[in-house]
Structure 1
Amino acid sequence: MSTASARYTGQLRTEATHNASGNTIITDAPVDNHGRGEAFSPTDLVAASLGACMMTIMGIVAERHQLDLTSVTYEVTKHMAAEPRRIRQIDVQFRLPASLPEKERALLERAARTCPVALSLNPEIVQEVSFVYE
């Protein structure tokens, strides 16, 4: 079975369905590239996928070590290059509890940096990842 099915709905918009669950997402071209910017652009999804993948892998490690990460948040910022138009850099900033011991911090940070999306992105895309403990 394929992972997703999608259709073009016009006006630079697509609707994709995750085949196993039936969940859908809409993509829209960004305003600076002829779109309406009313939904994630395809490159926004790449950036968001990096953060989500890192958080998921950290969650797997946390469960294995009985760590509670439910208060962890992260922000993702995508930077585009003009010529050719492509993702130049993705910044991911995690905010984690200051109570995490150094050993667990190192485990989580290493896990985040080795997630499958991070390892799959073109090496020319800078991945600036930071961890703030507060």
Structure 2
Amino acid sequence: MPRNLNVNRTADMATSPPIRATLDPEVVEAWGGALAAYRKRFGWLYVVGGGGMVVGLAGQWLAGKWMLLAVIPGMAAFVAAAITARTAAPKCPHCGELPYRPFERGVDPYSVEWCAHCLYWLRKPW
């Protein structure tokens, strides 16, 4: 059963929770499952891409200009991971939209606490 919580924090308006947000345990549980699936599906891409970039840059520093060719696949994997993960970010279980505003950039899905569209909590507020 959803219940409304009155929340009033003195943080920045862009990052503070809405005055009235609805807490539904089913939505919170579904969001946790969506984040786990997202991490399982895309987490390895960041490891491979970031590792390739680190190895390539270290090799370039040690061996010279020819190791730059080792950086290019790592950079390509990292960029592909970022684009793919951004386009496949988990949606709000209640309204089906991205839980942040459309033009926000660099939003980490793991740090989102409530949906900006339907004002449902995605994590427990305590």
Bigger proportion of residues as helix: 2
| Larger Rg over CA atoms | 2
Given the two structures, how large is their TM-score scaled by the length of structure 2? Answer: 0.30
Bigger proportion of residues as strand: 1
